[in-house]
Chains A and B, each alone.
Chain A
Amino acid sequence: MSASIKATGIDVVIDGQPILAGIDIDIRAGQLLALVGPNGAGKSTLLSVLSGDVKPTNGVVEIGGRDIRTVRHLELARLRSVLTQENQVSFPFTVAEVVEMGRSPWARTGSRDDDERAIADAIGATDVSHLVARRYTSLSGGEKARVSLARVLAQSTPVVFLDEPTAALDLRHQEEVMSTAAALARAGRAVVVVVHDLSLAAAYADRVALVAAGRLESVGTPAEVFTAERVERVYGLPVDVVSQNERPVILPVRGPSST
């Protein structure tokens, strides 16, 4: 079940524009890695490279010791799952049908029980059991995001990529999604999450990778990466870093309200 991903010397150049340069990173089983960085820093591109969607201009991505480009579509779908930011469904499939689609790479491999258990677990973990009979197209943005996450979890892969899974979610569901991701990592999977909320990343991640202007600025534990000086330099905004349960909480320095 363990399949780590190792990327070395990744450069991505699109239309002559360097998007990523000289990135080395490894994703380990049993760890939650948070990818953070300013808008346009290249987080999503890095995620696409690691998941095998985008071919890097230079460099190699290995999954379980094999070059990811040599792994066939279906086999790759049993090794890694990806939650993308775009989750529209073209036809009015029900939520149950959408979650079940996550099992399709495993068709004719295991018993029907495996499928049912994976689907039930995924639906439970994402708090969507009350939606199963609804049509996906009739859901709100946050509900769609959680159902899509359930589909990705049902895929039951050793490596899980989540691209901004908390973007459309309210406070409670943000926390729930991150703790679900952390639980997956504790269960032995390698989990990569792109998040914008630095405190959220710091609260749940085992490791944080800070991407800035196409380069890997820093990788390490949340406490190592999130120093006030570094966050200020990368984001161009003065911040205070305080500590809650030994996890950093990053707060922008705001003046007294001027009313």
Chain B
Amino acid sequence: MTRVARGIALSISLTVALIAAILLSSVVGQLPITPAEIVGSVLRALGIQNGWAPTDPIVESTIWIVRFPRIVMGLAVGAALAVAGAVMQAIFGNPLAEPGVVGVSSGAALGAAAAIVFGGTLGITAALGSWGIAVCAFAGGLLATLVVYFVSRANGRTEVVTLLLTGIAINAFAGAGLAFLLFMGDTASREQITFWQLGSLNGSLWREVAIVAPITVLGTIAAIVLGKRYDLLALGERNARHLGVNVEALRIGSIVLVALLTGVAVAFCGIIAFVGLVVPHVIRMIIGPSHRPLLVASAVGGAALLTFADLVARTIVPGADLPIGMLTSLIGGPFFFYLLYRQRKRSGGWA
């Protein structure tokens, strides 16, 4: 099959997966709702009166206050993380770079946790309101990305060993920081911080979605616009510069983009690792590494994957809502081992 044919096949399967994920997630749960009730309720919200719409106000509020914000949040966060992963891999020139693995997510979580514990005293909550945690998560993520970038780059290339060691160091530091904040914080803060460490879409609210979704959409568009330049960056920084790319500007812009997408996802849903690793990798295997199609497909694939993962997280143990970050790491961790093993076998080393 040619790459074009695979691309078409992938687009169709991703669209089907996305719609299936949304429908299944709307229908399945502690309170079963029929697909007809969902469609009817959406149509009614659009101003079209119909016979399918639920009459029970509990069903109606479950759809609009519990399920839909959570689904939209899952879509947005999944897309944000997958796009952040693909962008990070492009600027590091390495398929193992991922916000969770190299510590950007934990940097963002530390920023968010610091805002929870000290936000009141430092006046961050007063100044920025509900954006305070998001802004601090972004700042933490940005700082972590900058550290990883400048430590692990040498002569325009990233050494895998240095990249992963930097990730270990940042994860360890941020983990210790989170532990310190757990120790410092009051009970309410502790609960919130634990939630950040494990990652969950539970309790997503429309006003949170209103922050995450626009940033995801704008960030994804920005990444797609830069897609051609990411292709050239695969030739190495010098060669990209010879082809007219302003590498310094692209680098800085992309670091901010990764921090923004990761930060906004972490700020409201905690650390959900490996989405940015698995999704772009699988898509690259199917349609090749060209960045424009890769970024589009990663956004859709990430959205579908996280929505499915969240459905599993909240239904697999009856009556319990598992942290989704734990679930993605359980699946993503072994996948990461497999990638390391393959890269090592192929290149005979780590560089």
Contact = CB atoms under 8 A, between A and B. Distances in A.
Interface string A54-85: 00000000000000000001111110111010
Interface of A: 51, 53, 73-78, 80-82, 84, 86-94, 97-98, 101-102, 104-105, 107, 151, 155
A148 to B, nearest CB: 8
B238 A84 contact: yes
A164 B24 CA distance: 59
B251 interface: no
Interface residues of B, number: 23
Given A84-B238, A88-B157, A90-B234, A104 B243 contact: yes
A86 B238 contact: yes
Interface in B286-305: 288-290
B244 interface: yes
Nearest to A80: B242
Contact of A101 (B95, B232, B284, B288): B232
Interface string B222-242: 000000100111111011011
A94 B290 CA distance: 10
B329 interface: no
A85 B288 CA distance: 26
Nearest to B239: A84
B238 A53 contact: yes
Contact of A82 (B94, B234, B242): B242
B236 A87 contact: yes
Given A93-B289, A93-B290, A87 B284 contact: no
Given A104-B228, A104-B232, A91 B244 contact: no
A102 B232 CA distance: 9
A73 B289 contact: no
A97 B236 contact: no
Contacts of B242: 51, 53, 77, 80-82, 84
17 contacts: A75-B244, A78-B244, A81-B242, A82-B242, A84-B238, A84-B242, A87-B235, A87-B236, A89-B234, A89-B235, A89-B236, A91-B284, A92-B288, A92-B289, A93-B231, A101-B243, A104-B243
Contacts, number: 71
A73 B244 contact: yes
B236 A88 contact: yes
A81 B240 CA distance: 11
Interface in B194-247: 228, 231-236, 238-239, 241-246
B303 to A, nearest CB: 23
A73 B245 contact: yes
A101 B244 contact: no
Contacts of B157: 88
B78 interface: no
Interface in B132-189: 157
Q: What are the 5 A-B residue pairs with the smallest beta carbon separation, nearest first?
A: A77-B244, A91-B289, A90-B93, A74-B244, A105-B244
A75 B284 CA distance: 32
B2 to A, nearest CB: 10
B300 to A, nearest CB: 20
Contact of A155 (B93, B94, B243, B288): B243
A103 to B, nearest CB: 9
Given A73-B246, A78-B244, A88-B236, 16 more contacts: A51-B242, A73-B241, A86-B236, A88-B157, A89-B234, A89-B235, A91-B284, A91-B289, A93-B288, A97-B231, A97-B288, A101-B232, A101-B243, A104-B228, A104-B244, A107-B228
